[in-house]
Amino acid sequence: AIALLLAWAALGNLPTNWVGAALLVLGIILVVAEAHTPLMGASAIAGAISFTLGALLLFRPIGSVSPSAPAVALNPLIVVIVAGAAGAFLLAVLPAVVRTRRLKAISGTAVLIGTTGTARGDLAPQGILHIAGEDWSAVTEGDHIRSGEQAQVVRIEGLTLVVRPSSGTEVVPSA
């Protein structure tokens, strides 16, 4: 908040081109949008272009300049270097972010659905099921399951696993 207020005060005293400021803001919005809705880099590239153009136009007045106005400009070489470094970083990091978002869950209760565990005691209809190295409260969906038999998780209700007798094909839970 302090930085924004200081920037607002400084931009009020400089010959600011508000189109350049708007392009800077648009560039930031596009890069943030790419992080939340990956479009294979399209909005990140548009954001980098918008940010670069905004930085180049920020202190270049479109109309005539007052002779009393200070001569202020950003060094174009610095703008291009910063934009290039930010663009290279985005191109390196965004594919990893997209891959991570597409991965299947490897933790939490959702991973247990479809996996098979061993009954610690008779499930008639409630009991304990040992699955993925843990003991869970379980209730059968139909048939009773005897101690030591395999049961497959159908769904989860709160902290209780709803199970049915295993069909014989065991699904190994992710660890």
Q: Name which residue leads in pLDDT, 41 or 148.
A: 148
**How many CB atoms sit inside 10 A of residue 26's CB?**
17
26 vs 55: CA distance, rounded Å: 12
pTM for the full model? 0.49
pLDDT value at residue 103: 77
- Interaxial angle between packed helices 42-57 and 76-102, expressed in degrees from 0 to 180 and rounded to the nearest 10: 160
13 vs 38: CA distance, rounded Å: 38
Q: Round the CA-based radius of gyration of the chain to a whole number and report it.
A: 30
Q: What is the pLDDT of residues 92-131, one digit of tens each?
A: 887 787 788 777 767 777 788 888 999 999 998 899 999 9
- The residues, any chain, with a CB within 8 Å of residue 4's CB and separated by 6 or more, are none
Share of the chain above pLDDT 90, in %: 23
Pairing of strands 160-165, 150-157: antiparallel
CA dihedral of 109, 111, 115, 117, whole degrees rounded to 10: -40
Q: Which residues pair with 130 in a beta bridge?
A: 118, 135
Q: Which of 29-33, 69-73, 79-83 has the lowest mean pLDDT?
A: 69-73
Q: Does the structure show a pLDDT above 80 at 65? A: no
pLDDT value at residue 161: 92
Q: What is the pLDDT of residues 85-101, one digit of tens each?
A: 887 887 788 778 778 87
- Residue 155 structure tokens: 């769904």
Question: Can you list the alpha helix ranges (DSSP code H) found in the chain?
Answer: 2-13, 18-36, 42-57, 76-102
